[in-house]
Structures are given as C-alpha cells and as structure tokens.
Chain A
Amino acid sequence: MRTTSKILAALGLMAVASPTLAVLNIFTCEPEWGALAQELAGDKASVHSATTALQDVHRVEARPSLIARVRSADLLVCTGAELEIGWLPLLLTQSGNSKIQLGSPGYFEASQYVVKIEVPRILDRSLGDVHASGNPHVHLDPRNIAKVADALAERLVQLDPANADAYKARANSFGERWRAALSRWEQQAVRLKGVPVVVYHKDMSYFINWAGMREAGSLEPKPGLPATPSHLAELVEKMKREPAKAVIYSAYNSPRAAEFLSERAKIPSLMLPYTVGGTDKAKDLFGLFDDMIGRLLAAVK
C-alpha cells in the first residue's frame, strides 16, 4: 500500500518538467563525512550518509536504496583508499549518474587529502584484508578532519559557485572552532601518551597515532578476520607479561571478544564511538572526539 502510494508520488514527481535543484544533493559513504558536509554546507545541501556508526563499512552491500540515492546525487563524499571497494564501484556503475563518476568534480575521496599510515610493505591476502594505499580509517586523526574540510569546502565552491560566500564563511567558522577544539583535545590527550591499548580492528590507528598511544595487540588475528580462541589465548598470555590499559572496540563491533579478554586479563574493555552516531554524545564531529577522549581518559585513570 505504502509502496503503491510511493510509486504514484514518484510518477507525479517525474511528470513535473525538469525539477530545478534547490540544494546540493550530497551522498556520503560514511557518517563522519556526512557530518562534515553538513557543517560546511548547512542549509545549502541535503546530506545523506550511506552507512551508520553501527555498520562495518567494509561489509556494506550496494542496496537498491543506495543506488537510488546516488542516482540523484550532485556530490559523493567517500573515504576511498579501498575502504568501500566492495560496494562503491557498483553504486557508480549502476546509478547512471555521470556527475559523480571517478574523476568528475562530484567525486570526492577524503583519503586523498591526508597522509595515510600503515601502508603495507608487502601486499598479500595471507596478511588479511589489507589495503594497498594504507589504512583507510583516516578520520580519527582530528588534524585530518581539518585537511579534508579545506578540500571539501573548495569542492563545494567549485560545484555551487552561486553559494561560494556561504561555503567560505562556514568553512572559516568551522576551521576556527576546530582549531580551538583541537588545542583543547591536545591538552587532554597528554594523559593518553604512551598508554598501551588492545584494539579490535585496525580502525583506531589514526587516533592512537595522533594521541601518541601504543597499540599492544589486536583482537583480530589478521585485519578483517574474526578473533579465534587460540589468538585470544595468546593475547591473554601477552597481557600477563605486559598488560594494556584497556581493550577498545568500535560501536559496530560485537563486545564479546573484548569482554572475553577483559575478564581473563583483568583489564577494562571499552566501547568507543568510532564515528559520528556511535554513542549518544558523538552527535557531531566535535562530540565524536570529545567522547573518544573522554571515555579513554575515564578508563585509563
């Protein structure tokens, strides 16, 4: 019934002669870029994120609803660096939208504007699901957000020159607020320096790198492969020799493996938002870093 009315509504919509674009249609692959696009474009854009903080971005499927969104997008903002390799190429080829194809102004890859870490020296799938151009989870270094924001603001100006002043003003305002927040976070993160943590997946590397923390192990035996009993047993042994301060995992991970290690090794397990929407406090990019740092500080006290 609802579908029928939807189809009728759609046909009515199509009957209206060439709809003029009131706002820029922005499709983002991840919620962090959705939040950033919203900060920079405000009411000049309608922003839709393909995924939420509760999804593992590696494992998304090119669902019909996503193809429909990309079909009408003016700008696509994704991470790149092969993070979306399983589904983004399909969205591009199935959408029939030339504006957002690779190389078009409407195609924006955030990872191209930052320096990637953990670029593998050896590329072989026996090492797990490794990405040739480096670790793609770039948004968790707050300095990267500033770099991507600059590039994205430029892109918005290029795509929608009529609203150039608005984008520039918003980018300046965001830049100022971000710099202020960054210096606050840097002060807070001093207490995290050198703190060893066990991670679930290699998705926290940029944060760990920025905060000067130390990765003492990973619940996944190899990137993308689920934890095995033997690997967890090894980690328990390792924690006896050199205990970590916490086992951290993302909102989209099951807590089971982290809790297992936490109980056996007597170290706290800690869920982190990972991206915007991962926790109640991580409502936007500022909230995301406030909560990431706040939760870690509370745990390693």
Chain B
Amino acid sequence: MKKAKLMALAVAAALSVTRPAAAQAQVQAGAAPTGANALNPGISLILNGIYGNLSQDPAGFKINGFVPTLGEVGPPNRGLSLGESELVISANIDPHFRGTAVVALTPENTAEIEEAYVQTLGLSHGLIAKAGRFFSSMGYLNEIHAHAWDFTDAPLANKVFLGGQLGDDGIQLKWVAPTPFYLDIGVEASRGLHFPSGPDGGRNKNGTGSGNFFTHVGDDLGTSTAWQAGLSYLSTSPLDRTYDDADSTGATVTNSFSGRSRLWVLSGILKWAPNRNPTYTNFKLQGEFFRRKEGGTLTFDTATTAQPGDYSSRQSGLYLQGVYQFMPQWRVGYRYDRLDAGTTAIGLVDSGALTAADFPILAAYNPTRNTLMFDWSGSEFSRIRLQLAQDKSRSDVTDKQVFLQYIMSLGAHGAHKF
C-alpha cells in the first residue's frame, strides 16, 4: 500500500518536469481517502429536542371547522421531550442517478421513512425525474424538512390541508425552462398514501391515487432581493377516507368520505439581504394561500348505522410570516395563521336525518394563531429557538404555548435551499 503511494508520487514527480501544475495537484489528490470508505455517501444526522409549556392539553388538540387528517398535526408534548432525529444519506449513484434517503427516528423508538428517492442527473434539456417517496411539491414549505423551518411547527393551513406535511410514494417529472429567469413546471403521480387521499395507506388499485401539477417562477430584483412564486394543484379521489368525531350524544363515531378532493396552493417568498450578503442582516417574507373543494358522499357512523349523504365543502386558509436577522446569529420572526371554514353542506343535516350537532368538528369556525419566535445560531450547524404562540385552533379555548427548542446537525454540510 505504502509502496504504491510512493510509486504514485514518483510518477507524479516525473510528470512534473513537463506539467508542473497538474502533477502537483495530483500529488495532493493522492492524499484523499482511499479504499472501501472513500465512496461513502454524505451522511448527516439532525438532533433536536424541545421543552413545551402549553395552557391546554395537547392530547385534546383539534382544528375546528376542518376534517381531521390523521397526520402529525398536534403541538409538541408538555415538558421535556426528544424531537425526531433525522438521518439523511445521499450520494450520486452513477453518472445517471442520485439517491437520497431521510429516515426519521422518532422519540417513540420507531423508524419512519420520510423520503427515499432516486432522481436523474443526466436527462438534460432541463428535465429532472424523481421516483420513490418524497415530499410533494405542494406549496413552498411542504418540500422543506421540519428542521429547516423558521418556526417550531407547521402553519395551520399545512396541518388541515396537507396533514402537516404531505409525502407520498410516486414519481415526479419536472422541466426547468431555458429562460433568463427561473421557470419550472412539473407533475407528480402518486399512490395517495395520506390525507387528502384515502384510505390511509393508499387504495388497493392499479394506477395512481393522487396527481398534482406545479409551477414556479422566480428571479432577482435589483442587487439585494430575490423572489419566487409558485402554484400547485392536487387532485385526488378518496375512497372511504375516515375520521373520528363525536355525535350529538357525545359518543365517538367514525365517519367516512368518498368523492373528489381538489386543492390549490399559491405560494410566495421574498428574500432580502444587502448586496446579497446575508451574513450580517437579512429578511425573509413568506406566505401561502390554500383553497380546497371537496364533493362526494359522507357516511355517518360507519360502524353501526352507516347512513350515507351528500357532502360538499369549499374552504381556504393562509399564513404569512416574516423573519429578520438583525445581527449575526440572531433572528426574530412573526407568523400569522388564519383558516376560513368557508361553506360545508352536509346532506344528512339538510334533509333532517341528523343534526349539525352530530358533526361537531365540521361546525363553521375560523381558527387563527399568532406566533413569535427568537432564535440564535451558534454556527450553521446549531440553533436554539424560543417560540411563543397564541393558538385558537379550538373553537372553545385559546392555547398559550411556549416552546424552547434546539436543532443541531452533524456530519455532511446542509444545503442552502432558497
């Protein structure tokens, strides 16, 4: 082994007579790791933990006015708890493909595949294909991992329309246009693993359970600002998508929806940093608007009476947030959340077969939330955050929340996504 290295050095030295620059670089390249470990993929591990102080019991969390999603939408626990530890592994597979896996190790000692996908490197013409499990391109925040969010938790709109964060098994095809500014269009065809598709886990059928279309436009504005806007549309036909509610006597019932669900997301992000140098100060403005239309059959109490009736709803929601870094390492941010329960027509109630009190979670209510956060980053790899929120997701109470959180990453350098 040592001999081979000496030989390489000798060869390099001999070459240096004619090509000094290249040969010197070769000598240095010889110092790179060799052997079986040299081609290890990039590995990083995200560690996070949280202290929560909530005026309301998180176990009773619900968002009134909206169909429950079965997703991870509740606030963090009271007291001290470990967050999800995220293991990220990625590398180029060969000149044609790149692979990425993100495994979340939950504090309950289970492992969850958040993302596991391959994507093309060599299609050219601006085409990128992706296959596997990945976060759907539905709006801006949905594609970003929770550890890179500017707030501890997801916006209310992401909770009710995407079940917190929508990841699905499928394929994505994206085309980046050859334009002087950024423009992409793309489609996804997916299994329909989670809400708003149904049943949870996907339908037992050939073909796809969910499909979406998305497009983004972005560019620079002057010497200090950059922006991006996006539009996404998701269409799915849930079959027997269930949720639990209480009937008018207070007994727990399971209801089921079958029909069509369509969701539009409009997103916008604007970043400002003097001369594009965010080191000292920078500002980020971000907002998304969601609108959903659902229509079909809602079956009440599937376990006993199983009464079917028409169902239709038009609902919307938005969040708007700003985060300002006022000096190196220190940021402050504010987020406003608002959901509009819109109109929901339940056939069983309109016909008099049941009363609105049999569908309490669907009673019209417009949840709001105000969130304030401060964070300090020791370096690019560590962050400690304090977040205060006044959460009116529940129609009867206001939850006052305080979270103190750390997020740290070790291993491979993270990506500076826009």
Give Cα distance in the complex from A51 to B278, angstroms.
13
B92: A residues at CB distance < 8 A = 102
Asked whether any CB of chain B lies closer than 8 Å to the CB of A187, the reply is no
Q: Are A71 and B415 in contact (CB under 8 A)?
A: no
A172: B residues at CB distance < 8 A = none
Partner of A61, one of B95, B271, B275: B271
Asked whether any CB of chain A lies closer than 8 Å to the CB of B18, the reply is no
What DSSP secondary structure best describes chain A's contact surface?
loop
Q: Are A116 and B28 in contact (CB under 8 A)?
A: yes
A99: B residues at CB distance < 8 A = 124
Give the distance to chain B from A109, nearest Cβ to Cβ, in Å: 10
Bitwise interface map of A from 64 to 97 toward B, beta carbon under 8 Å scored 1, else 0? 1101100110000000001001110110111111
B353: A residues at CB distance < 8 A = none
Q: Are A129 and B181 in contact (CB under 8 A)?
A: no
CB contact under 8 A between A59 and B278, given known A14-B178, A224-B380: yes
Interface extent on B, as a size class?
Answer: 35 or more
Asked whether any CB of chain B lies closer than 8 Å to the CB of A229, the reply is no
Bitwise interface map of B from 224 to 237 toward A, beta carbon under 8 Å scored 1, else 0? 00111000000000
Asked whether any CB of chain A lies closer than 8 Å to the CB of B180, the reply is yes
Give Cα distance in the complex from A67 to B127, angstroms.
13
Asked whether any CB of chain A lies closer than 8 Å to the CB of B242, the reply is no
Asked whether any CB of chain A lies closer than 8 Å to the CB of B220, the reply is yes
Give Cα distance in the complex from A113 to B125, angstroms.
30
Give Cα distance in the complex from A114 to B25, angstroms.
5
Q: Are A101 and B95 in contact (CB under 8 A)?
A: yes
Q: Are B328 and A226 in contact (CB under 8 A)?
A: yes
Q: Are B415 and A96 in contact (CB under 8 A)?
A: no
Q: Are A85 and B277 in contact (CB under 8 A)?
A: no
Partner of B416, one of A90, A92, A103: A90
User: Nearest chain-B residue to A95 (Cβ)?
Assistant: B176
Asked whether any CB of chain B lies closer than 8 Å to the CB of A254, the reply is yes
User: Nearest chain-A residue to B183 (Cβ)?
Assistant: A10
A147: B residues at CB distance < 8 A = 21
Q: Are B379 and A54 in contact (CB under 8 A)?
A: no
Q: Are B417 and A115 in contact (CB under 8 A)?
A: no
Interface extent on A, as a size class?
Answer: 35 or more
Partner of A115, one of B25, B277, B410: B25
Partner of A63, one of B29, B121, B218: B218
Asked whether any CB of chain A lies closer than 8 Å to the CB of B276, the reply is yes
> Using a CB-CB cutoff of 8 Å, which residues 353-409 of chain B contact chain A?
379-381
A133: B residues at CB distance < 8 A = 28, 32
CB contact under 8 A between A62 and B119, given known A55-B275, A119-B31: no
Give the distance to chain B from A173, nearest Cβ to Cβ, in Å: 19
B220: A residues at CB distance < 8 A = 63, 65
A-B pairs with CB below 8 Å: how many?
164
Asked whether any CB of chain A lies closer than 8 Å to the CB of B93, the reply is no
Asked whether any CB of chain B lies closer than 8 Å to the CB of A3, the reply is yes
Q: Are A10 and B126 in contact (CB under 8 A)?
A: no
Asked whether any CB of chain A lies closer than 8 Å to the CB of B219, the reply is yes
User: Nearest chain-A residue to B31 (Cβ)?
Assistant: A119
Asked whether any CB of chain A lies closer than 8 Å to the CB of B331, the reply is no
User: Nearest chain-A residue to B381 (Cβ)?
Assistant: A125
Asked whether any CB of chain B lies closer than 8 Å to the CB of A112, the reply is yes
Give the distance to chain A from B229, nearest Cβ to Cβ, in Å: 9
Asked whether any CB of chain A lies closer than 8 Å to the CB of B123, the reply is yes
Asked whether any CB of chain B lies closer than 8 Å to the CB of A98, the reply is yes
B122: A residues at CB distance < 8 A = 98, 101
User: Nearest chain-A residue to B20 (Cβ)?
Assistant: A147
Q: Are A62 and B416 in contact (CB under 8 A)?
A: yes
Q: Are B413 and A113 in contact (CB under 8 A)?
A: no
B306: A residues at CB distance < 8 A = none
Q: Are B216 and A64 in contact (CB under 8 A)?
A: yes
Give Cα distance in the complex from A119 to B30, angstroms.
13
Asked whether any CB of chain B lies closer than 8 Å to the CB of A280, the reply is no
B22: A residues at CB distance < 8 A = 113, 151
A6: B residues at CB distance < 8 A = 179-181, 219
Partner of A125, one of B128, B180, B328, B410: B410
Asked whether any CB of chain B lies closer than 8 Å to the CB of A290, the reply is no
Give the distance to chain B from A216, nearest Cβ to Cβ, in Å: 24
Partner of B178, one of A3, A71, A86: A71
Partner of A96, one of B98, B123, B379: B123
Asked whether any CB of chain B lies closer than 8 Å to the CB of A260, the reply is no
B95: A residues at CB distance < 8 A = 101, 103
Bitwise interface map of B from 5 to 26 toward A, beta carbon under 8 Å scored 1, else 0? 0000000000000000110110
User: Nearest chain-B residue to A19 (Cβ)?
Assistant: B178
B227: A residues at CB distance < 8 A = 64
Q: Are B277 and A252 in contact (CB under 8 A)?
A: yes
Give Cα distance in the complex from A60 to B175, angstroms.
24
Asked whether any CB of chain A lies closer than 8 Å to the CB of B58, the reply is no
B178: A residues at CB distance < 8 A = 13-14, 19, 71-72
Bitwise interface map of A from 41 to 60 toward B, beta carbon under 8 Å scored 1, else 0? 00000000001101110011
Would you give 26 A-B contacts (Cβ < 8 Å), ordered by A?
A6-B180, A19-B178, A56-B277, A59-B277, A59-B416, A61-B418, A62-B418, A63-B218, A64-B182, A64-B216, A64-B418, A65-B226, A71-B126, A90-B416, A90-B417, A92-B121, A95-B126, A96-B125, A96-B174, A97-B124, A98-B122, A98-B124, A101-B121, A125-B381, A224-B379, A225-B379
Q: A85-B413, A95-B126, A225-B379 are in contact. List 13 more A-B contacts (CB 8 A).
A: A6-B219, A14-B179, A54-B275, A55-B275, A61-B278, A64-B182, A67-B182, A72-B178, A87-B415, A133-B28, A147-B21, A226-B328, A254-B280
A residues with CB within 8 A of B: 3, 6-7, 10, 13-14, 19, 51-52, 54-56, 59-65, 67-68, 71-72, 82, 85-87, 89-90, 92-99, 101-103, 112-116, 119, 125, 128-129, 133-134, 147, 150-151, 224-226, 252, 254
